[in-house]
């Protein structure tokens, strides 16, 4: 039987880009090739909006893992590529399904229900051989999903799915059909060849990294900002980040925390530049000359002015924060509006209407949550007033700022600017 393992990647929304489609798909492929560095790809070919990577069986799992980290790809599917011959398809499908059934039996013992493995991340071997026999008293359920991408194939998809399902019931012991909630979905895609699979993994989706410009992330030590950076990187922005600290009021461990957050982010968003800026003089001046209740808004406006200057030097098109409307006292619509007035670059807030639980889910997915909850305070929390002004007016804040040498303080802060080398895990 002349079959080979391939990993296919699907472009998702990139195929809807009209005349610009090729620009986006080329960018996604470029990042895919970077992600696959060190993995020997025997062949690459493209058919009808998918790219197929032929690899050795031993390299399938790490190829899948690498492809899943690439923005712009919606599905990653390890498959057996089979010549368009029904006997060959039957043999390959039975071998693949038998192995999956045996693996589920080993994982689940003799339980009558086995969890769906169709989109799992399980690290099972992909040997297309029968390694065990399921218990007929507790059948594993399956269904066959046929996609006829090549319409020259004469048999309609539902009819061919029934045919393949009938073969599997004959060839693989201990199976039962369940088209609504199967334990296994056997997928057959009909192109120039047959492609048969039992796994399909979600990719990052979104747009290729760098296809939407550059953004400067205001990276605090909290949960929200790393997740916000990821959300916009997924929409095509390349990222740099700036972390504001107030050493010695905050410890060096807080700065190390920011470095580790940036390093963890690099694993999903790609290369980042990280800048550190000390705001001690700014907080000291605000404490001496301004109303304490306005500290948070005043300091945020100073951060935006500094971030503007860094963005100019770094060729960034926008600023990014993790703010969510009403989540904390400073994130009221009045506070956000007043802060906006201090920035020249647009400020993107991807989580402005997002619940905290959803943000936490993203932080867990990208691996930043456990770092973010380490108990090292950032400057925002250290200097936060006990009773902040939740409804500041621009006139009120500008009266307080008139007591400060704003440009001088911004210049002093920029003198502390440090570019940090990120060491990714």
213-236 pLDDT, tens per residue? 999 999 998 999 999 999 999 999
Q: What is the mean pLDDT of residues 301-320?
A: 97
CA distance 120 to 201: 7
Q: What is the mean pLDDT of residues 6-28?
A: 83
CA distance 215 to 239: 5
Lowest mean pLDDT among 16-25, 174-183, 220-229, 323-332: 16-25
pLDDT the model gives residue 132: 37
- Residues 131 and 149: beta-carbon distance below 8 Å: no
**Helices 280-289, 406-415: inter-axial angle, 10-degree rounding:** 160
pLDDT the model gives residue 47: 81
Bridge partners of 243, per DSSP, are 276
Written as one string, the DSSP assignment of 49-91 is: TEEEEE--GGGHHHHHHHHTTSTT--EEEEEEEE-S-HHHHHH
pLDDT the model gives residue 106: 85
Select from 272, 274, 264, 276 the least CA-distant residue to 362. 264
Most confident of 98-112, 337-351, 370-384: 337-351
- Whether the upstream peptide bond of residue 248 has omega within 30° of 0, thus cis, is yes
16: exposed, middle or buried (C-beta count within 10 Å: 0-12, 13-18, 19+)? exposed
Helical spans, DSSP H, in 74-197 = 86-108, 157-171
Written as one string, the DSSP assignment of 278-303 is: E-HHHHHHHHHHS-GGGHHHHHHHHH
Give per-residue pLDDT as tens, 171-185.
999 999 999 999 999
CA distance 157 to 320: 47
Read off the pLDDT band of 380 (50, 70, 90).
Answer: low
CA distance 217 to 321: 6
Select from 40, 47, 119, 37 the least CA-distant residue to 70. 37
CA distance 386 to 364: 30
Read off the pLDDT band of 377 (50, 70, 90).
Answer: low
Asked if pLDDT for residue 335 goes beyond 90, the answer is yes
Percent of the chain with pLDDT over 90: 74
CA distance 319 to 240: 10
User: CA-based angle 206:55:86, to the nearest 5?
Assistant: 95
Read off the pLDDT band of 66 (50, 70, 90).
Answer: very high
Mean pLDDT of the chain: 88
CA distance 128 to 96: 5
User: CA-based angle 202:203:209, to the nearest 5?
Assistant: 165
Written as one string, the DSSP assignment of 214-275 is: EEEEE--SSSHHHHHHHHHHTBT-EEEEEEEE-TTTS-HHHHHHHHHHHHHHHHHH---EEE
Select from 92, 122, 131 the least CA-distant residue to 183. 122
Three-state secondary structure call for residue 365: helix
Specify the residue for token string 């950032």: 378
Q: What is the mean pLDDT of residues 60-69?
A: 95
pLDDT the model gives residue 111: 44
Residues 6 or more apart in contact with residue 224 via CB below 8 angstroms: 322, 323, 324, 327, 351, 359, 363
Q: What is the mean pLDDT of residues 94-109?
A: 88
Read off the pLDDT band of 332 (50, 70, 90).
Answer: very high
- Residues 196 and 96: beta-carbon distance below 8 Å: yes
């Amino acid at each position: 039987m002349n079959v080979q393992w391939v990993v296919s990647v699907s472009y998702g929304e990139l195929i809807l880009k009209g005349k610009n489609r090729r620009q986006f798909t080329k960018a996604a492929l470029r990042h895919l090739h970077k992600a696959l560095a060190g993995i020997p790809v025997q062949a690459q070919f493209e058919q009808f909006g998918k790219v197929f990577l032929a690899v050795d069986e031993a390299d399938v799992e790490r190829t899948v893992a690498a492809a899943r980290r690439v923005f712009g790809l919606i599905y990653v599917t390890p498959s057996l590529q089979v010549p368009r011959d029904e006997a060959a398809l039957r043999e390959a499908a039975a071998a693949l399904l038998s192995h999956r059934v045996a693996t589920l039996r080993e994982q689940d013992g003799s339980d009558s229900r086995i969890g769906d493995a169709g989109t799992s991340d399980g690290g099972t071997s992909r040997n297309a051989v029968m390694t065990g026999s399921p218990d007929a008293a507790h059948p594993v359920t399956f269904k066959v999903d046929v996609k006829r991408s090549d319409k020259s194939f004469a048999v309609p998809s539902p009819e061919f799915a029934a045919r393949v399902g009938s073969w599997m019931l004959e060839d693989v012991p201990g199976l039962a059909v369940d088209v609504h909630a199967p334990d296994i979905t056997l997928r057959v895609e009909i192109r120039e060849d047959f492609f048969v699979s039992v796994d399909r993994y979600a990719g990052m989706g979104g747009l290729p990294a760098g296809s939407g410009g550059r953004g400067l992330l205001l990276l605090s030590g909290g949960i929200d900002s790393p997740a916000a950076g990821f959300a916009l990187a997924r929409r095509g922005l390349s990222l740099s980040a700036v972390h504001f600290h107030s050493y010695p009021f905050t410890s060096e461990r807080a700065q190390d925390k920011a470095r580790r957050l940036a390093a963890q982010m690099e694993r999903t968003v790609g290369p980042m530049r990280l800048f550190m800026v000390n705001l001690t003089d700014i907080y000291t001046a605000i404490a001496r000359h301004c109303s304490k209740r306005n500290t948070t808004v005043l300091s945020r406006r100073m951060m935006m002015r500094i971030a503007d200057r860094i963005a100019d030097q770094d060729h960034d098109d926008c600023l990014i924060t993790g703010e969510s409307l009403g989540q904390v006292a400073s994130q009221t619509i009045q506070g956000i509006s007043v802060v906006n007035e201090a920035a020249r670059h647009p400020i993107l807030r991807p989580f402005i209407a997002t619940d905290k639980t959803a943000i936490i889910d993203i932080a867990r997915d990208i691996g930043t949550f456990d770092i973010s909850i380490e108990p090292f305070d950032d400057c925002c929390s250290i200097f936060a007033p006990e009773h902040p002004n939740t409804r500041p007016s621009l006139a009120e804040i500008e009266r307080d700022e008139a007591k400060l040498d704003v440009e001088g303080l911004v210049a002093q802060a920029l003198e502390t600017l440090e570019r940090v080398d990120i060491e990714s895990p």
